[in-house]
Chain A
Amino acid sequence: MKSAIELRDVHKSFGTTKIIFGVSLQIREGERHAIIGPNGAGKSTLFNLISGRYEVSAGRILLHGADITNLQPFEINRKGLSRSFQVTNIFHNMSVYENVRCGVLWPAGYRYSFWHRVGGLRDVRQRAEEVMERIGLARRRNTLAGTLTYAEQRALEIGVTIAGGASVVLLDEPTAGMSRTETAQVVELIRSVTEGRTLVMVEHHMGVVFNLADRISVLVYGELLATGTPEEIRANPAVQEAYLGALHKEAARADGSHA
């Protein structure tokens, strides 16, 4: 079967500091894949490499079997990969509606058009309304993004990311800094919007990870320690030893709260 994303021995260094040491990973079409690991392991860096934000030092990255190594972010996006950011990255001086619409315009085929009136594009408007409804911001449509609450901005971050209907979605810590109820809502949101798509997400919240993910990869100091189903990961002695000690307790706690 073809992989949605395939990393082949990917390396990344900043100057003389090596951050990613030869990561190889295959993410299957349609799966929900979580990447976990301690702070500074290089999870966000991995996302930045896949989405074209950073240049790869060595190795290859494939999207649906096509080589996307070192393409520009917009080229990768046009091939159907969309990502969110750990630090909220939205259009602060535009309204919620306009933010979402920015995510819709290119995939809807309007590109650089200066002969369409955006107000008259029914398909774009419908899609934007639908996304705002989904992320629960329909009533805030005319609010400036910069004035939203933190949780609302995080929701909008996801909204802008999924608005274009990309086939592969990368979410970087979508629930960071959220309360328990907010987290539960976001999990449901992610579950519903990634139906039928490939999802890769970085997440520290073990409850979310074991709840959502079909498979999990563990990244420790730039190296992939293990990849497998949640059960396999939980049972993996190397993961246990290197990293899960503290994490296991957290996971157990999070599981308990969901049970």
Chain B
Amino acid sequence: MTYQPLNLGRWIIWGGAALLFAAAPHLFPGGFALTMLTQMGVMILFALSYNMLLGQGGMLSFGHAVYSGLGAYVTVHALNQIGAGTFYLPVPLLPLVGGIAGLAFGLLFGYVTTKRAGTTFALISLGIGEMVFACVLMFPGFFGGEAGISTNRMVGQPFLGLTFGPGIQVYYLVALWCFLGMAGMFALTQTPLGRMANAVRDNPERAEFVGYNTRHVRFLQLVLSSFFAGVSGALSCINFEIVSAENVSAIRSGGVLLATFIGGVPFFFGPVIGAIVFVFFIVALSGFTKAWLLYLGLFFVLIVVYAPGGIASLILMQFPVIRAGRWRELALPYALAALAGLVALAGLIGLVEMVYRLSDQGVSTVLQLLGMSFDARSAPPWIAFGAILAAGLASLRAAARRVGERWGAIQLELQAQAAA
């Protein structure tokens, strides 16, 4: 019946994804792009595993880095043991070690965290995360303290001629595991457990009355998710050749939450978009400004308030309009809104950067922007940037209203057409 064309679409999507993974280093050549792409691959896997909790199971976790981080620690020790000749395992199989370690810790900690749901689950996951972080600092013998443990991924015999010295080989290793992980996690959404995780997210009480122990569903979902988190941790260990306390920190846990939510929690592929944006923010933007975290946080808050379905929902919303051939009517309002947004952003950036110039003793108070220079100690630039921000926000409001009106009108017409 309706299954056939859907499956075809699925083949196209997955084929396209595989192709994209393979072609990415050629589409974006250069060493910088390669490091970024590799990190994106790791983050995609991590964010997808996180979404098994938040998106599919309704579990808001503030401590997911525990599973990826401990997976990474076990991997780094395994890698060092391989290097020391204690045992042999080809490097490409190491992510499995990380995954199994993640799963083991998922079994251990998940037993406690999944006892409760909702807000309490969120707080417990935070507590477990803090506990693990404190323990990591407490036992420097195994965890290497603040500095962490470094390693060398070029150990043992080359595997099929691959030494994993060059970045491109690491990229393809990450890409392969990322793709496999993606496929695996998608497959899990199509299993009885995966569907019941959705049911427990939507209405836990009813799930209990059709025979399911909601706690057990949450527990299994978390354990499976921590396997993939562990795989991503192992990949990050192979990529960076160092694992430190930062890997299990609240910053990591918060980061994956940010990335996943920005991408779009309700959709399987949402976190992929989120991970790409997130890594771009970190790698690309952090080189330009010290305030990148502020911008990221602001972006996140805007998404929470205005687009709780994330970027993915914003994109998917456009499809019916495009299919109906009506996007041309929206092009102008969109362009105006984007322009107003850029103006507001420019004002904001100016203000933020000036605050930073004033507070940090080390840097000059003169701000270079677009070939012009402003002294943060004088009043005019403050007034100017403030005015730009205000004007930008005001026009953004007007533009957004216009988009809303146009959008609403088109939706009404489309609905009327569909009903007719």
Contacts and interface: CB of A to CB of B under 8 A. Distances in A.
B208 to A, nearest CB: 4
A179 interface: no
Contacts of A102: 195-196, 199, 206-207, 210
A118 interface: yes
B122 interface: no
Interface in B260-279: none
Given A94-B199, A114-B224, A77 B211 contact: yes
Contacts of B193: 112-114
A91 B191 contact: no
Interface in A206-236: none
Contacts of B217: 112
Question: B interface, by DSSP: helix, strand, loop or mixed?
Answer: helix
B203 A91 contact: yes
Interface string A80-112: 001100000111111000100111011100111
B406 interface: no
A117 B187 contact: yes
B206 to A, nearest CB: 5
A160 B199 CA distance: 12
Interface in B202-241: 202-203, 205-214, 216-217, 220, 224
Contacts of B202: 91-94
B199 A91 contact: yes
Nearest to A79: B211
B194 interface: yes
B47 to A, nearest CB: 20
B56 to A, nearest CB: 12
Contacts of A118: 190-192, 194-195
Q: How large is the interface on A (under 10, 10 to 19, 20 to 34, 35 or more residues)?
A: 35 or more
Contacts of A105: 192, 195-196, 210-211
A232 B209 CA distance: 34
Nearest to A106: B211
B195 A74 contact: no
Q: How large is the interface on B (under 10, 10 to 19, 20 to 34, 35 or more residues)?
A: 20 to 34
Contacts of A110: 192
A103 B210 contact: yes
Report which residue of A53, A91, A101, A102 has the largest number of chain B beta carbons within 10 angstroms of its beta carbon. A102
Given A92-B202, A117-B190, A117-B191, A112 B216 contact: yes
A51 interface: yes
A164 interface: yes
A51 B188 CA distance: 31
B313 interface: no
A107 B216 CA distance: 17
Contacts of B81: none
Nearest to A145: B202
A67 B208 CA distance: 19
A145 to B, nearest CB: 9
A93 B192 CA distance: 17
Report which residue of B207, B211, B217 has the largest number of chain A beta carbons within 10 angstroms of its beta carbon. B211
Nearest to A75: B213
Interface in A122-150: none
Contacts of A160: 206, 210
Given A90-B203, A102-B199, A113-B193, A74 B209 contact: yes
Contact of B220 (A89, A91, A114, A117): A114
Interface of B: 3, 187-188, 190-196, 198-199, 202-203, 205-214, 216-217, 220, 224
Given A113-B191, A116-B191, A160-B210, 6 more contacts: A90-B206, A93-B202, A94-B198, A94-B202, A105-B210, A118-B194
Instruction: State the 6 A-B residue pairs at the shortest beta-carbon distance, nearest first.
Output: A106-B211, A114-B193, A73-B208, A110-B192, A77-B211, A114-B191
21 contacts: A72-B208, A74-B209, A74-B213, A83-B209, A91-B202, A91-B203, A94-B198, A94-B199, A98-B195, A102-B195, A102-B196, A102-B206, A105-B195, A107-B211, A112-B220, A114-B194, A114-B224, A117-B187, A119-B3, A119-B190, A121-B192
